[in-house]
């Protein structure tokens, strides 16, 4: 069966074990405690990236996803952020 990962991706859940399977790594904006940072989710783990992209890029991604800096959660990264992360060699 299919369900939605906390990052917003669609992922397959094993109907017997109830365990979600991995999905292709996705760049997300992690908002926590009014702080935004970049992370990669693969459905099993969310790994924070130890970098700080330009703040306006993070804010734009949060706004696009209909979120806010004071609403904790994972937001889909914009193509602009993906390009930025790729240029830094953080994602493939
Ligand atoms: Zn995910």
Question: What is the per-residue pLDDT across 66-88, written as a single tens digit (0 to 9) for each?
Answer: 999 999 999 999 999 999 999 99
Contacts of 83 (CB under 8 A, 6+ apart): none
Question: What is the per-residue pLDDT across 5-64, written as a single tens digit (0 to 9) for each?
Answer: 999 899 999 999 999 999 999 999 999 999 999 999 999 999 999 999 999 999 999 999
Do the beta carbons of residue 84 and residue 38 sit within 8 Å?
no
Indicate if the pLDDT at residue 92 is higher than 90. no
87 CA to centre of ligand 1 in angstroms = 22
55 CA to centre of ligand 1 in angstroms = 23
Q: In this structure, what are the phi and psi dihedrals at residue 55, rounded to the nearest 5 degrees? A: -60, -40
49 CA to centre of ligand 1 in angstroms = 15
2 CA to centre of ligand 1 in angstroms = 13
pTM of the model as a whole: 0.88
Q: What token pair was written down for 57?
A: 């890029």
CB atoms within 10 A of CB 62: 20
DSSP character string of 28-76: EEEEETTEEEEEEE-SS-EEE-S----HHHHHHHHHHTT--TTS-EEEE
């Amino acid at each position: 069966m299919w369900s939605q990962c906390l990052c917003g991706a669609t992922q397959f859940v094993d109907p017997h074990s109830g365990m979600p399977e991995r999905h292709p790594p996705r760049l997300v904006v992690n908002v926590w405690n009014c702080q935004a940072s970049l992370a990669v989710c693969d459905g099993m783990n969310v790994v924070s990236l130890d970098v700080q992209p330009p703040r306006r890029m993070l804010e734009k991604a949060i706004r696009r996803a209909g979120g806010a800096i004071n609403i904790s959660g994972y937001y889909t990264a914009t193509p602009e952020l993906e390009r930025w992360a790729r240029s830094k060699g953080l994602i493939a």
